[in-house]
Structure 1
Amino acid sequence: MARNVEFNEQLAVSKAMDVFWRKGYNGTTMRDLTEAMGINSSSLYNTIGDKHELFVRSLKHYTESRMQAALKQLDPIKSPIKAIDKFIQSSVYVITNEPNSCLAIKTTFEVATNDEQVQKIIKADNDFTYNLLNGLVEKAIQKGEITVSQDAAMLTDYIINHFSGWHESFIIHKDKTRIKNMATFLLKQITQ
């Protein structure tokens, strides 16, 4: 029986995440959340807490899901540069096909600057991405798949910093080709 309550709570958090993703933290009302989750406000307060706690859980759900998906997608790829390419292409796909952009990036600018708890989640997500890519860059350098530099940390920062710019560009211009071209150019830059 307890398992059903946990599943329902997870499903409710997932539904709330979709609302926060679409409307942002500040644009989301308690009514938006309770309607999406199919519960009344007293049930929300009794099981999960307030809007902020629900947002924190939603953000954790979002970031942890992304982490698991990245590991699952990249693990079978034996070539580090091919795994980096897959990560970049997957990022391009998300940027150009997600109707609500990236919840982590949106949250960074909307909430994380003034909220330590949210900032901690965003930092953990960023650290995961950095460590994953840095490990791949190090392996690619060791295998001679990357020769442009021996500084894996700098190359990792160089790759990651492109993602925020691509999100911004796509939000403004809605030009998939532009983002794909920038990704192709980035990969050429690191594999010279």
Structure 2
Amino acid sequence: MARNVEFDETLAIQKAMEVFWKQGYNATSMRDLTDAMQINSSSLYNTIGDKQELFVRCVNHYTDIRKKDWDKRLSSKDSPFSVLVDYIHDAVDIIINGQDSCMAIKCAFEMATNDQRVKDILKEDSDRSYQFLYNLIQSAMLKGEIDADEDPALLADYFNSTWTGWHESYILHKDPVKIKRMAQYFIKQLSK
């Protein structure tokens, strides 16, 4: 009988998340996961559960990382507009230099239509993203960095949709100049 192995669950979730992120849910086998996590299958089943439960935990882990990043940016002493511009540049860098696109976007298309728990996690993540952007835009408007006539709710929704489109464009065309130009155009529109 195989011995259950004790392991660092947070590190194991991180490693499993990276496998799901790269390969997607359907293309990932339990063997892929246990190899990456460096545990045996009985340890996985006894501590976390099945592949679906592990996937849900990985999606939660991913969205928690994003939330921490947004919270850190919101607490910055920099001007709201400069934080927003840095965020846009970082998004472009991730799109162009990241190997596996955005896990939330990938999950939305692969799993959220069939799995209510994943859909709920991603909806909460999207709502937090919207609130993060809304807060930055509204703060920038109050400081005169963005025209006060703009609608912060519309701009936050627009950026969330635009960000997804940039990912798709880069996946299909692999044109970093195109993504950078779209980002610069968006920043220019905000700063009018």
Q: Same-fold call, TM > 0.5?
A: yes
Residue 111 of structure 2 aligns to a residue in which SS? helix
1:101 counterpart residue number: 101
Q: How many residues align?
A: 188
- 5 Å matches for 1:46-125? 46-125=46-125
Cα deviation per residue 1:114-147 (whole Å; 9 max; x = unaligned)?
Answer: 1110011101111111101101111111122111
Distance 1:62 1:7, change over 3 A: farther
Per the normalisation by structure 1, the TM-score is 0.93
Distance 1:171 1:40, change over 3 A: same
AA partner of residue 185 (structure 2): F
Residue 112 of structure 1 aligns to a residue in which SS? coil
Distance 1:7 1:139, change over 3 A: farther
2:159 counterpart residue number: 159
CA contact (8 A) 1:13 1:54 kept: yes
Report sequence identity in percent: 52
1:137 counterpart residue number: 137
Matching of residue 173 in structure 1 with residue 169 in structure 2: no
Per the normalisation by structure 2, the TM-score is 0.93
Matching of residue 27 in structure 1 with residue 27 in structure 2: yes
2-structure distance, mates of 1:64, 1:172: 28
AA partner of residue 171 (structure 1): I
Quote the RMSD (CA, aligned, Å).
1.6
Unaligned runs of 5+ residues in structure 2 are: none
Unaligned runs of 5+ residues in structure 1 are: none
CA contact (8 A) 2:142 2:148 kept: no
Residue 8 of structure 2 aligns to a residue in which SS? helix
